[in-house]
Amino acid sequence: MSTYKRKDKKFNAKLVAIADHKQAEETIEKVYKSAWHLLIAATGCFELATSKTLFKRILSIGLVGFHLDSALCDALGVPTTPQRLLRRLRK
């Protein structure tokens, strides 16, 4: 990696614009992923309300819990609970 710094202001402005664009894309991706997980959690809530068997209710509770956790972790940019558990198991 070079430590050479270019003194051209236009070039430096372009680098800043590229970095800002990448950060904006990452933020938009986080919002979409979180919204997707919230939509699936809402589907799980609907399944919980309309299901009649105990097995379906247990599955829908797991669906809601997993996707709410994923939505929150995606929004905050931290690993999800299953990812953290798997990392601990590998150690």
Our measurement of the distance from residue 18's CA atom to the centroid of its chain's CA atoms, rounded to an integer in Å, reads 22
**Cα(33)–Cα(37) distance, rounded to whole angstroms?**
6
pLDDT tens per residue, the chain (91 residues)?
555 555 666 666 665 666 677 787 888 888 999 999 999 999 999 999 999 999 999 999 999 999 999 999 988 989 999 999 999 999 8
Residue whose token pair is 């992923």? 33
Nearest-angstrom CA–CA distance, 50 and 5: 63
* pLDDT at residue 38 in the model: 95
Residue 9: the pLDDT is: 63
- On whether the CB atoms of residues 67 and 37 are closer than 8 A, the answer is yes
Angstrom CA distances, 11 to 6, 7, 16, stand at 8, 8, 9
User: pTM for the complete prediction?
Assistant: 0.71
| Amino acid present at 41 | A
| The pLDDT of residue 22 | 78
